[in-house]
Amino acid sequence: MRSLRTQVAIVGAGPAGLTLARLLHNSGIESVVIESRSREYVEARIRAGVLEQGSVDLLDAAGVSARLHREGIVHHGIHLQFDGERHHVPLSQLSDGRAIVVYGQTEVVKDLIADRQQAGLPLLFEVSDTAVQGFQDEHPSVSFTHAGERFQLHCDVIAGCDGFHGICRAAVESRLSLFTREYGYGWLGILAAVAPSSEELVYSNHQRGFALLSLRSPEISRLYVQCDAADDIANWPDSRIWEELQIRLGVDGWELAEGPILEKGITGMRCFVAEPMRVGRLFLAGDAAHIVPPTGAKGLNLALADVAVLADALTHWYSTGSQSGIEHYSEDCLRRIWRAEHFSNWMTSMLHRVDDQPFSRRLQLSELRYVTSSEAGARVLAENYVGLPWASSRAPV
Ligand code: RFL
Ligand code: PHB
């Protein structure tokens, strides 16, 4: 077994782990990032696409936003569609000028990996048999196999940024309280080589189920249809997907352009929160600690908010010896997380086909009418969607 030493061992090279590594480097703190997948796999994984203003500001401060500003597309509003009509929600107008940027998570990850490799800092792909030890006392370490060799990475702190299926939360799960909600339905998502048919996102509540029109670039559309969480992608030939999208997104006087489907997959929807997010010297961040249904576009943004709080807390600890930031890490993050859980659950319940009860549908339509006709209603959606301000302590206001 080869022995290594660093200050912060980061498990997982998703947006949380990679951004944390960069923020720590900016504060002069060393880290080693280990990732179970290959670089090619991580860079090809299609996921989120919407960055809140606070996330863009964080990537600016981290120094990894040059391409984001060149290629990201700033959006000042979204559309909500129901009952055959499309309504515009002017997000920026309702939230003191704040906006969102459409820039694929895949691109954020590519930028962070390129940045780390250019700086010559340790980032190991294709590690296996990862295990965490010693975080209950002052001697944490992470063991793993890389290129056929077994390593033990000694550190001051372990950051568990290894996603929902990672090993870090699993290692401490008996000490956590877990909160879960399963929806029974999911999203079938496609990436299509066709110019987006709408400049802004369209969230549609249709009797047959939810649909969403989003985008990745002026040439690439990203679209979703609600389906059963247990559905098999084999049941969805391309023609059926387009047929459903045409029905659910259709409005008079507008056309949805179709194109070759480049990628497709089904994801179940759930809420999940693990509390607390720290056990001794092991900190959980991002999807390792919480999941939101994607309807509020919050998952990536929460992951970035967590590591902003964690980087601040660790910087404070290394520079002053004070543990106050570390001790408040979980509490500071969880306030923002529960706000996002509530918002994501609200958007999900308002927009999906939840059951076959006419009563449920009447309630949804009433709520959608309120949100699209009352400024107060629209403001609630807008300020949550663009993201509540990050206070200087990084805790939500
Ligand atoms: P990730 O991205 O899952 O990264 C975790 C990494 O850890 C690695 N790993 C390990 N590495 C070493 N050893 C082990 N034992 C390991 N086990 C796992 C994994 O390979 C992986 O590389 O978690 P992170 O960094 O916390 O980031 C979270 C985001 O990925 C996630 O919240 C978002 O993608 C959610 N999400 C969205 N969020 C938004 O903010 N806006 C959106 O528009 C949005 N849309 C979405 C979404 C998620 C979706 N899916 C696929 C669930 C749309 C969809 C369809
Ligand atoms: C996406 O573009 O992938 C996307 C956009 C908005 C959401 C979820 C996903 O709410």
CATH number, domain of 42, equals 3.50.50.60
Q: Is 298 a catalytic residue?
A: yes
Q: Is 370 a catalytic residue?
A: no
**CA–CA gap between residue 245 and residue 240 (Å, rounded):** 9
Q: Is 264 a catalytic residue?
A: no
Among 287, 306, 309, 310, which residue has the most ligand 1 atoms within 8 Å of its CB, making it the best to mutate? 287
Answer yes or no: is 147 within a domain.
yes
Residues with CB under 6 A from ligand 1: 11-17, 34-37, 42, 47-50, 105, 127, 130, 161-163, 166-167, 187, 189, 267, 286-287, 294, 297-301, 303
Answer yes or no: is 380 within a domain.
no
Q: Please say whether the dihedral angle defined by the alpha carbons of residues 163, 396, 275 and 182, taken in this order, is positive or negative.
A: negative
Peptide bond into 276 cis (omega under 30): yes
Answer yes or no: is 42 within a domain.
yes
Q: Is 294 a catalytic residue?
A: yes
pTM for the structure as a whole: 0.96
Question: Per the structure block, which two tokens stand in for 253?
Answer: 């006087």
Among 78, 162, 216, which residue has the most ligand 1 atoms within 8 Å of its CB, making it the best to mutate? 162
pLDDT in tens, 363-387: 999 999 999 999 999 999 999 999 9
**CA–CA gap between residue 119 and residue 318 (Å, rounded):** 22
**CA–CA gap between residue 293 and residue 276 (Å, rounded):** 21
pLDDT in tens, 36-67: 999 999 999 988 899 999 999 999 999 999 99
Answer yes or no: is 254 within a domain.
no
Q: Which of 298, 329, 352, 396 is catalytic?
A: 298
In this structure, the number of other CB atoms found within 10 A of the CB of residue 253 comes to 5
Answer yes or no: is 198 within a domain.
no
The confidence score (pLDDT) of residue 394 equals: 43
Closest CA relative to residue 66, chosen from 108, 10, 127: 108
Answer yes or no: is 368 within a domain.
no
The confidence score (pLDDT) of residue 395 equals: 39
Q: What is the DSSP string of 248-292?
A: HH--TT-------EEEEEEEEEEEEEEE-SEETTEEE-GGGTEE-
Q: Is 75 a catalytic residue?
A: yes
Answer yes or no: is 262 within a domain.
no
In this structure, the number of other CB atoms found within 10 A of the CB of residue 85 comes to 12
Do the beta carbons of residue 158 and residue 142 sit within 8 Å?
yes
Ligand number with the minimum distance to the CA of 267: 1
Domain total in the chain = 1
Question: Per the structure block, which two tokens stand in for 65?
Answer: 């936003």
Among 108, 187, 201, which residue has the most ligand 2 atoms within 8 Å of its CB, making it the best to mutate? 201
Q: What is the DSSP string of 306-347?
A: HHHHHHHHHHHHHHH---HHHHHHHHHHHHHHHHHHHHHHHH
Name residues of the chain where pLDDT drops below 70. 391-397
Residue 160: which domain range?
Answer: 2-73+96-179+270-352
Answer yes or no: is 29 within a domain.
yes
Closest CA relative to residue 215, chosen from 240, 231, 233, 193: 193
